[in-house]
Amino acid sequence: MSVTAAEGFEAAGVAAGLKSSGGPDVALVVNRGPQKTAAAVFTSNRAKANPIMWSQEAIRDGRAEAVVLNSGGANCFTGSFGFQTSHQTAEKAADLLGVGAIDVIVCSTGLIGTGDEVFRQKVLEGTTAAAGRLSADGGESAARAIMTTDTVPKQATRTRDGWTIGGMAKGAGMLAPGLATMLVVITTDAVLTPQQADQHLRSATRTTFDRLDSDGAMSTNDQVTLLASGASGIEPDAVAFRDALTDLCLDLATQLMADAEGASHEIHIRVTGAVTEQDAVTVGRSVARNNLFKTAIFGNDPNWGRVLAAIGTTNAQFDPYDTDVTINGVRVCTKGGPDRPREEVDLTPRRTTVDIDLRVGDEAATIMTNDLTHAYVHENSAYSS
């Protein structure tokens, strides 16, 4: 179970003909209350899709009744017609649910530039069909309806002292900082104010989804939405809720990384000894985005020189000749020079850890990324997005 794990939520996923495969492509998640608290974070890409522009307005009052999501078309760079489509989608769902359109969030994913009249009709019909199939068991079908190149649906739940958090996510490429063609809906039956929901969500995404940098390419459509029904009647301990939400987001982010397009390694870049957390993030991201590092890992080559060269492009406080690099537990570089023989490093497992100790401070951060493979090139040269 996922977005319907918490009390007070119903969901559905239906096939509306947006995907050429005929698979499910429109999902609806509805908050039955009693509370209708909501928060969302959006792509920081300045080229934002129409559903993002609609949803940014809709979330402003910290309240939402439902989320409509579609795959099979990003409705991005589709002009004012496209914005009207997002608006009409919200109105359609609102009519069906007997709520206000401004309380309906809209998310889209798929090919940029897709958003014509045919697209609009299918999304509206899909919304109607989904509204007719809402159920407290519908989480799985909703999770499947938002998949694009994903090979598996991504779901997670956490239950603590009388309250539950559930979530679903899609995304398998363009996973980049500030979120990435990644749609996430998280629900909880905990009692939260809009301010609490917003703070918890920003805190949790900052160290999870925001640290996932699969290929450095930021999407136009990313959105993570949190809906709180209050159905448990329990006001959670703030620290416990934040920890559980962060843990659930990390779970979903890890599932996204594991399903990234064409990847053969899931790479955790742990930067320690930084002066600031931001320095640690900057260093990790620079390594994660270095194509020479990424291809080396694909080739099972523990190429620490490329790691140091990537760090050298940043403005982080560090001395290349006082930096240590450990790959899969083998210290291959000590103080900017060779240490253990590279032959000792086993890079055959998918899970890869690169530990970078900058030795100048006490702050740390982990960036998650993938290697750069033939399959990535194939998938992204053949699939339009």
Asked if 374 and 262 count as a contact pair (C-beta separation under 8 A), the reply is yes
Q: Is 129 in the site for a second copy (CB under 8 A)?
A: no
The whole-angstrom separation of Cα 280 and Cα 163 is 34
Q: Is 119 in the site for a second copy (CB under 8 A)?
A: no
Q: Is 181 annotated as a binding residue?
A: yes
The stretch among 100-108, 132-140, 210-218, 230-238 that binds a second copy (CB under 8 A) is 210-218
The whole-angstrom separation of Cα 247 and Cα 270 is 17
Instruction: Identify the CA nearest to 326 among candidates 251, 273, 252, 262.
Output: 273
Residue with smaller CB distance to a second copy, 239 or 321: 321
DSSP state of 67: E
Asked if 286 and 354 count as a contact pair (C-beta separation under 8 A), the reply is no
Site string for a second copy, 167-206 (x = CB under 8 A): ------xx-x------------------------------
Exactly one of 19, 48, 63, 122 binds a second copy (CB under 8 A); that residue is 48
Exactly one of 71, 220, 366, 370 binds a second copy (CB under 8 A); that residue is 220
Asked if 226 and 40 count as a contact pair (C-beta separation under 8 A), the reply is yes
- Select which of 4, 114, 181, 352 is catalytic: 181
Q: Is 23 in the site for a second copy (CB under 8 A)?
A: no
CB of 322 to a second copy, least distance (A): 11
Q: Is 77 in the site for a second copy (CB under 8 A)?
A: yes
**CA angle (286, 287, 289) in 5-degree steps:** 65
Instruction: Identify the CA nearest to 170 among candidates 288, 284, 261.
Output: 261
Q: Is 310 in the site for a second copy (CB under 8 A)?
A: yes
Q: Is 113 in the site for a second copy (CB under 8 A)?
A: yes
Q: Is the dihedral of CA 277, 211, 206, 56 positive or negative?
A: positive
Q: Is 306 in the site for a second copy (CB under 8 A)?
A: yes
Annotation says 352 is catalytic: no
Site string for a second copy, 131-170 (x = CB under 8 A): ----------------------------------------
As beta bridge partners, residue 46 has none
Asked if 41 and 62 count as a contact pair (C-beta separation under 8 A), the reply is no
Cα dist from 56 to 35, 114, 280, whole Å: 20, 21, 30
Q: Are strands 223-228 and 183-188 parallel, antiparallel or unpaired?
A: parallel
Q: If DSSP codes are grouped into helix, strand and coil, which group holds residue 158?
A: strand
The stretch among 34-42, 86-94, 124-132, 318-326 that binds a second copy (CB under 8 A) is 318-326
Exactly one of 217, 234, 258, 275 binds a second copy (CB under 8 A); that residue is 217
Q: Is 308 in the site for a second copy (CB under 8 A)?
A: yes
Q: Is 216 in the site for a second copy (CB under 8 A)?
A: yes
Asked if 298 and 308 count as a contact pair (C-beta separation under 8 A), the reply is no
Q: Rounded to a whole number, what is the distance in angstroms from the first to the last CA of the chain?
A: 29
The whole-angstrom separation of Cα 236 and Cα 189 is 10
The stretch among 27-35, 144-152, 229-237, 296-304 that binds a second copy (CB under 8 A) is 296-304
CB of 27 to a second copy, least distance (A): 23
Residue with smaller CB distance to a second copy, 65 or 261: 261
Residue with smaller CB distance to a second copy, 103 or 261: 261
Instruction: Identify the CA nearest to 229 among candidates 140, 135, 166, 137.
Output: 166
Burial of 334 per CB tally in 10 Å (0-12, 13-18, 19+): middle
Helices (H) and strands (E) in the chain, counts: 10, 15
Q: Is 373 in the site for a second copy (CB under 8 A)?
A: yes
Exactly one of 23, 88, 111, 140 binds a second copy (CB under 8 A); that residue is 111
Binding site residue list for substrate: 148, 170, 181, 261, 380, 385
List active site positions.
Answer: 181
Q: Which residues bind a second copy (CB under 8 A)?
A: 44-48, 74, 76-79, 111-113, 173-174, 176, 215-220, 289-293, 295-296, 298-299, 301, 303-306, 308-314, 318, 320-321, 333, 336-338, 372-374, 376-378, 380-382, 384-385
Binding site residue list: 148, 170, 181, 261, 380, 385
